Structure 1
Amino acid sequence: MSENSEQRSWLPYAIVIGVIVIVLAVVLFWPASEPEPEPVVEVETPAVVEPEETEPEPADTFEAAPPPEPVEIDPDQEATPMPEPMAEPEPLDISDTAIKSALETIATSPTLSRLLVTNGLLQRFVVSATNLADEDMAPNHRLLTPPEQDFRVYNQADREWIDAASYKRYTPYVDALESMSNEDLIALYERYQEEIQAKYAEIGDPDQPFTEVLIEAIDTLLDTPEVKMPIEVYTDSVMYKYADERLESLSAPQKQLLRTGPDNMRRIKAKLRELKDSLSSRTQ
């Protein structure tokens, strides 16, 4: 079976793309801007009311008030400086350079830099997450580069099984995912949420909050069943398929998650559960 046909059929990197798509917010940090200036409230000057004319009192009724004492001004005294106007908030930078740089800043894993693609990060995030929520894949909008190692199987008793070495290809991706704290990821998502929502309105329901889409995408992956290893596969001369019909009937994202291996899948699910709890608390 050719390398190209295997990549087309299994898309081994796609599930990791989907996972990072959900949690990278995405994808998505920029330096905090200055606080917005307080709104100026105009106060109307009250109209001057002229006093009514009254009869003057007799001159000998009151004593004349003494003139006010002159006020001496110290020439060395500094005048109170006027407050400087507050700076306008910096515009949101959604360029690929800014987004990638910020993601690298919050990730403690040095491998994230070489795994990320370099163009259209925000759009790729929205499209990939939307497809994942629909239990589908968006390989043309991947956020990460594919693994360098090839998918491998081994033969035993005239049957083919997934080689455990294939699972190790995904470990660097999962390491990069775990190197970013949930708090940082949620903060990134919230900073870019308005821009993300606008992009989602172009391809989905404009009245649906994109956060709901993210939660649906997470649920798609969390519903992937745990299976015993090793996993048997077969080829019909075009692509590899799961020998177990129950596994082959799973959605495309779920079948790809199985391809990451039992340990990586456990780590991915643990991260997704934590992120789902954080996202769900913000929709209530």
Structure 2
Amino acid sequence: MTDNDTAEKKSLIPHFLVGALILIGLVAVYFWQADPEPAPRVEEPVAMPVDEPQVPEPEPELDPDAAAPLETPENMQPPAPEPTPEPEPLDITDGAVKTAVLETGEYEAMARLLVDEDLLRRFVVFSKNLSDEQLAANHGVLQPPKQEFRVYRQAGKEWIDAASYKRYTPYVEALDSLDTDQLIQLYGKYKPAINEVMAELGEGSRDFDTVLTDAINHLLDTPEVPMPVEVTSDSVMYKYVDERLESLTPPQKQLLRTGPENMRVIKAKLREILDALMP
């Protein structure tokens, strides 16, 4: 378990939640179809007595200067349909992405934690690596904690200090404030842009829904352990003394570092998101 600057950038909290793209809604144009013109009525001839010959009435002469017949609902033409408006270009700039995510939770808290550059690509790369049980240290979407990792010594052993867990509390609170329904809607809107990034990474045939669910399920498989947690160190690295914990994948070990209480909140939110993702 590493505590250098690179390890501090491996914060897992909600990297895989930033999945949303602003689409301009298209206004549907409905066309009122004119009622079909009625078929002409055919007058049935009236039978007349044979002994009284009928004299046809003369046809009235048409006046060329007479006014044109008035239009009636039967002969009115339907209005020409209005053209369908073209969709505006999708805004996938960092400012648009960040604003969309901030509006789903505690705005100020999330604003302090989210990075400002290349958010969408970072999210895709991080999620893809996480689904492969790896960490993409240089593609996190959150600022790393400023506080240092801390341990304490007791009875000749080293244990993780509870203060180390508190470093992640602001991240967990921000995660818990996110509205799941809004997140899923934003993720759906971002899917076209996400698929483009996946294609650029040579993963165009891989369904990103599967990537996302695999990443979440992998974190949910992280075991919960009681405090305190014993570690051992050399000059640059900390490792879990418990071989079962040390054999976990890098993402799972990093999630474990958030502490028991924080991890329970994270897992509860992840299950909520996973349930919303599943059809």
Letter in 2 for 1:21: H
1:35 deviates by 2.9
Letter in 2 for 1:20: P
1:101 deviates by 1.7
Task: Specify the SS of the correspondent of 1:106.
Answer: coil
1:36, 1:88 within 8 Å by CA — same for their partners in 2? no
Larger mean CA deviation between 142-151 and 29-38 belongs to 29-38
Cα separation, 2, equivalents of 1:36 and 1:201: 31
Cα separation, 2, equivalents of 1:204 and 1:231: 40
Task: Specify the SS of the correspondent of 2:145.
Answer: coil
Mind listing any 5+ residue stretches in structure 1 that lack a counterpart?
40-59, 74-80
The match for 2:95 is 97
Q: Which string of whole-angstrom CA distances, capped at 9 and with x for unpartnered residues, describes residues 140-184 of structure 1?
A: 111111111111000000100000011111111111111111101
Q: Which string of whole-angstrom CA distances, capped at 9 and with x for unpartnered residues, describes residues 114-159 of structure 1?
A: 1111111000000000000000000111111111111100000010
Cα separation, 2, equivalents of 1:64 and 1:180: 82
- Which one of 6, 11, 14 corresponds to residue 15 of structure 1? 11
Alignment of 1:15-164 (within 5 A): 15-16=11-12, 19-25=13-19, 28-30=20-22, 32-35=24-27, 63-65=58-60, 67=62, 70=67, 85-164=83-162
The structure whose Rg is larger is: 2
1:38–1:141 Cα change, 3 Å: farther
Cα separation, 1, equivalents of 2:207 and 2:99: 27
Cα separation, 1, equivalents of 2:170 and 2:161: 18
**Residue-pair matches, total:** 246
Alignment of 1:182-221 (within 5 A): 182-221=180-219
Mind listing any 5+ residue stretches in structure 2 that lack a counterpart?
32-54, 71-78
Task: Specify the SS of the correspondent of 1:160.
Answer: strand
Task: Specify the SS of the correspondent of 1:218.
Answer: helix
1:35, 1:89 within 8 Å by CA — same for their partners in 2? no
1:239–1:180 Cα change, 3 Å: same
Task: Specify the SS of the correspondent of 1:233.
Answer: strand
Cα separation, 1, equivalents of 2:186 and 2:248: 32
1:135, 1:252 within 8 Å by CA — same for their partners in 2? yes
1:231 deviates by 0.4
| TM-score using structure 2 length | 0.80
Q: Which string of whole-angstrom CA distances, capped at 9 and with x for unpartnered residues, describes residues 16-46 of structure 1?
A: 2xx4222222xx342643336679xxxxxxx
Task: Specify the SS of the correspondent of 1:111.
Answer: helix
Cα separation, 1, equivalents of 2:218 and 2:8: 17
2:124, 2:198 within 8 Å by CA — same for their partners in 1? yes
1:236 deviates by 2.1
1:174, 1:267 within 8 Å by CA — same for their partners in 2? yes
1:36–1:275 Cα change, 3 Å: same
2:21, 2:193 within 8 Å by CA — same for their partners in 1? no
1:201 deviates by 2.1
| TM-score using structure 1 length | 0.78
% identical equivalent positions: 49
1:36, 1:89 within 8 Å by CA — same for their partners in 2? no
Q: Give the aligned CA root-mean-square deviation in angstroms.
A: 2.7
Letter in 1 for 2:11: I
Task: Specify the SS of the correspondent of 1:87.
Answer: coil
1:124, 1:141 within 8 Å by CA — same for their partners in 2? yes
Letter in 1 for 2:18: L
The match for 2:45 is none
The match for 2:229 is 231
